[in-house]
């Protein structure tokens, strides 16, 4: 965690989401099931993208589960490769970021 920037989304003072940035890779994006479909994930990702852009990062990658890839696709991420970890398939997605997307 020393090399990562971590964000926690709060709603009514309670944590409802999180994400962190490890270099040019977004990791551990999570929104509580009770808080999903409220735009929290989108806002967290916008925050991550803005911070990455401010730090000179021009493209972000995110390892996405099969169930999350549609979420990232709606945010402008494209699939670049599939990675198999044991029996778990992860899709690595990427997005070029600029001021308009951050």
pLDDT for the residue 100: 54
The domains found in the chain, sorted by start residue, are 5-96 (3.40.630.30)
Q: Model's pTM, two decimal places?
A: 0.88
- The whole-number average pLDDT for the span 69-95 is 94
CA 51 → CA 26, 66, 102, distances in Å? 11, 26, 8
CA 58 → CA 74, 80, 85, 91, distances in Å? 19, 16, 27, 20
Checking 1-4 for CB contacts under 8 A at 24+ apart, the result is: none
Convert the pLDDT of each residue in 22-76 to its tens digit. 999 999 999 999 999 999 999 999 999 999 999 999 999 999 998 899 999 999 9
Tokens 């169930």 — which residue? 67
């Amino acid at each position: 965690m020393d090399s990562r920037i971590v964000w926690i989304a709060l709603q009514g003072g309670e944590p409802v989401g999180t994400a962190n940035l490890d270099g040019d890779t977004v990791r551990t994006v999570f929104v509580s099931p009770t808080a999903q479909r409220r735009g929290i994930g989108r806002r967290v990702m916008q925050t991550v993208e803005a911070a990455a852009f401010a730090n000179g990062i021009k493209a972000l990658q995110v390892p996405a589960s099969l169930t999350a890839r549609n979420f990232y696709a709606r945010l402008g991420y494209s699939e670049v490769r599939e990675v198999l970890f044991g029996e778990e398939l992860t899709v690595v997605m990427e997005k070029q970021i600029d001021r308009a997307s951050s």
